[in-house]
Each structure stands twice: as C-alpha cells, then as structure tokens.
C-alpha cells in the first residue's frame, strides 16, 4: 500500500468529522451571528448520553439516535432558553458569544460531576477487518465516518434547498427583518438552526468517541479542528465547512505521517491563524454584510 494514499484516506475520514463539526458551527453562526464556543461541550454531553444509553443496554441505533436527538434538543434549549432572552434584552453578538463560552464551562463541569473524570472507552460502532477500497486499505470505522459526513452534508443541502423551512432558514441568515415581513417566525427558525447545528456536532462527537477516550475534555480537539475547518472554509460557507474539514484532515495526517505526530494539533491552530491573517474570508467564504 502506498503510504500517501493511506494518509489521505485516514485524513478524509477524520476530516469528515471536522467537517460535521464545522457545518454545525457555520449554520449556527450564519443564522444567529453567534460563534458557538459551547459546540464541543454540547457534543461531549451528547456523546456521554449515548454512552449512558448503551450502558443501559439500549440497542445501538436507538442509543445513537436518542443521543443525537438529545443533542438537537439541547441546541434548541440553548437558543430558546439562553440566547433568545438575552437578545430580547439587546445583548450584543459579542455578549452572546461570551455566553456560549460560559455555557461550555458549565457543561464541562456538569459532565465532570455526572460522569466523573476517569477515562472511559466508547464501544466501537462497527467491527470487522479493513476493506480494500480502490488503492487504499481503510478500516470500517473510517468508511463509516466518511459516509456519515458526506451523507449528512448532502441531507443538509437537500433540506436547505428543497423544504419550506430550509428556504426560510436561508432567508433568515440573509435578512431576518425581511424574513419576518414574509411571515417567517424567525425565533422558531433559529431554534431549528441550533437544533440541527448541535445535532450535527453530536453526530461528530459520537463518531469520534470510539477513536479517542471519553472524558469531559475529550471533545476539545474536535472543537478546535471544527473551528479550523470552518475558518478555512470562510466561516459563512456550508460547502466551505465540508471542504475545510476534509482539507484539514488530509493535511494534518500528512504532517503527522511525514513530519511529526505531535505537530498535528499545533498545525490546526497555525491554520486558523494563517487563514485569518492572509485570507480572512477563507477558501469559499465571502465577507458577510448585513444591515442591522
């Protein structure tokens, strides 16, 4: 097997998870102008819920679905229960961002209290020998992650493109006042954006969990990589988020393979810094211009 191809295949699979994380971040950012620093911890809590349901012997699909729906519900709760009241009291976008940061810390502490800080193993979601796909040998896990990333990205595209709610969501991201004048209940659409965004984060967390260990800080790396992917894609572009995730996954895997494994995470940070400095609009993004 050609090692480059192996690195790329592994990178694409990790990148799909970064892409899912980034999709949620971008969707939420575009809809509500809030960079959600709670995204990683919301994913972490959802993953713990999946873990707990599996411990309680729920069948795997039911446990995963339950945890993802729980994540979506949490997302809606954050928007409806915290951000909306703050917004109605004229909180600035910066205040709201700080609010999500506070939420991240609260959730993190809460997870430590509920589940403890010991390291747990999350069961593998698929098992079996690696498969040969074209020139690459890939594990079933890698294939699952890539497939989940691609399918969910396509599903999101279809939702935004072909449903009334999706169309309304795109209208709200462009001009919320005008959306209201079309009769669109903007508050409810924001709930939806948060539910979908955090739901996608929950999926990324659950898929990542078998590859890492589960503990309250387990999703920090995923969050950082998700941010890097989102920034790389322009922060406002959904296709950019996916492309950014895959690009980051492949590049960091090549760096880990050819330079040093320890440089993987610093590389993601360096990427955020470099992109913001050189091309703030990212690969596919364009500056958002909204009226107040």
Partner 1 sequence: MHPLLEVSHATASYGPILALRGISLEVREGEVVALLGANGAGKTTTLRLIAGMLPPLTGSLLFKGQPIHTLPPEQRVALGIVLVPEGRGIFPELTVKENLLLGAWRHRDRRQAQRDLEEVFDRFPILRERQAQRAGTLSGGEQQMLAIGRALMARPRLLLLDEPSLGLAPLVVRHIFEILRAIHEAGTTMLIAEQNAHLALVLAHRAYILQNGEIRLHGDAQALRENPEVKALYLGRSSERR
Determine if 164 is a binding residue for partner 1 (CB under 8 A). Answer: yes
Contact 31, 169 (CB under 8 A): yes
Nearest Cα to 244, choosing from 8, 3, 7, 23?
A: 23
Determine if 168 is a binding residue for partner 1 (CB under 8 A). Answer: yes
Classify 232 as helix, strand or coil: helix
Residue in the block written with tokens 């698929």:
126
Q: Which of 96, 153, 186, 209 binds partner 1 (CB under 8 A)?
A: 186
Q: Which of 175, 258, 261, 266 binds partner 1 (CB under 8 A)?
A: 175
Determine if 184 is a binding residue for partner 1 (CB under 8 A). Answer: yes
Classify 137 as helix, strand or coil: strand
Q: Which residues contact 101 (CB under 8 A, 6 or more apart)?
A: 37, 38
Minimum Å gap between C-beta 82 and partner 1 is: 21
Q: Which of 171, 211, 254, 283 binds partner 1 (CB under 8 A)?
A: 171
43: Cα within 13 Å, side-chain hemisphere = 34
Determine if 56 is a binding residue for partner 1 (CB under 8 A). Answer: no
Determine if 140 is a binding residue for partner 1 (CB under 8 A). Answer: no
Q: Which is nearer to partner 1, 167 or 224 (CB)?
A: 167
Q: Which of 82, 140, 180, 281 binds partner 1 (CB under 8 A)?
A: 180
Cα 115 to Cα 45, 60, 109, 111: the distances in Å are: 10, 20, 10, 6
Question: Both tokens of residue 203?
Answer: 């999926």
What is the helix, strand, coil percentage profile of the chain, to 5? 75, 5, 20
Classify 62 as helix, strand or coil: helix
**Binders of partner 1: how many residues, by CB under 8 A?**
17
Per DSSP, the residues of 139-171 read -HHHHHHHHHHHHHHHHHHHHHHHSHHHHHHHH
Strand partners, 131: 138
Q: Which of 182, 260, 270, 274 binds partner 1 (CB under 8 A)?
A: 182
Determine if 181 is a binding residue for partner 1 (CB under 8 A). Answer: yes
Q: Which stretch binds partner 1 (CB under 8 A): 45-53, 101-109, 149-157, 163-171?
A: 163-171
Minimum Å gap between C-beta 33 and partner 1 is: 16
Determine if 77 is a binding residue for partner 1 (CB under 8 A). Answer: no
Q: Which of 5, 66, 170, 284 binds partner 1 (CB under 8 A)?
A: 170
Q: Which of residues 201-230 bind partner 1 (CB under 8 A)?
A: none
Q: Which is nearer to partner 1, 216 or 282 (CB)?
A: 282
Q: Which residues contact 273 (CB under 8 A, 6 or more apart)?
A: none
Q: Which is nearer to partner 1, 60 or 182 (CB)?
A: 182
Determine if 183 is a binding residue for partner 1 (CB under 8 A). Answer: yes
Binding site for partner 1 (CB under 8 A): 164, 167-168, 170-171, 174-175, 177-186
């Amino acid at each position: 097997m050609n090692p480059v191809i192996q690195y790329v295949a592994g990178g694409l699979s990790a990148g799909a998870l970064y892409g899912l994380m980034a999709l949620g971040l971008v969707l939420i950012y575009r809809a509500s102008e809030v960079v959600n620093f709670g995204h990683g911890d919301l994913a972490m809590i959802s993953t713990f819920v999946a873990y707990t349901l599996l411990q309680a012997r729920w069948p795997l699909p039911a446990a995963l679905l339950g945890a993802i729906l729980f994540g979506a519900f949490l997302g809606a709760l954050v928007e409806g229960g915290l951000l909306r009241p703050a917004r109605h009291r004229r909180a600035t976008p910066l205040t709201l961002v700080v609010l999500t940061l506070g939420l991240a810390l609260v959730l993190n502490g809460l997870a430590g209290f509920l589940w403890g800080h010991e390291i747990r193993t999350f069961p593998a979601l698929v098992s079996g020998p690696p498969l040969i796909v074209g020139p690459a040998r890939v594990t079933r896990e890698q294939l699952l992650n890539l497939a989940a990333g691609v399918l969910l990205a396509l599903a999101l595209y279809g939702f935004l493109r072909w449903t009334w709610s999706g169309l309304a969501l795109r209208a709200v991201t462009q001009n919320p006042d005008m959306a209201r004048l079309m009769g669109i209940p903007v508050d409810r659409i924001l709930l939806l954006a948060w539910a979908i965004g955090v739901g996608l984060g929950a999926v990324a967390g659950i898929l990542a969990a078998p590859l890492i260990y589960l503990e309250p800080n387990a999703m920090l790396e995923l969050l950082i990589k998700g941010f890097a992917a989102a920034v790389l894609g322009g922060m406002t572009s959904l296709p950019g988020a996916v492309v950014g995730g895959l690009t980051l996954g492949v590049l960091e895997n090549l760096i880990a393979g050819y330079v040093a494994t320890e440089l993987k995470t610093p590389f993601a940070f360096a990427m955020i810094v470099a992109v913001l400095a050189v091309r703030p609009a990212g690969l596919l993004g364009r500056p958002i211009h909204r009226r107040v």
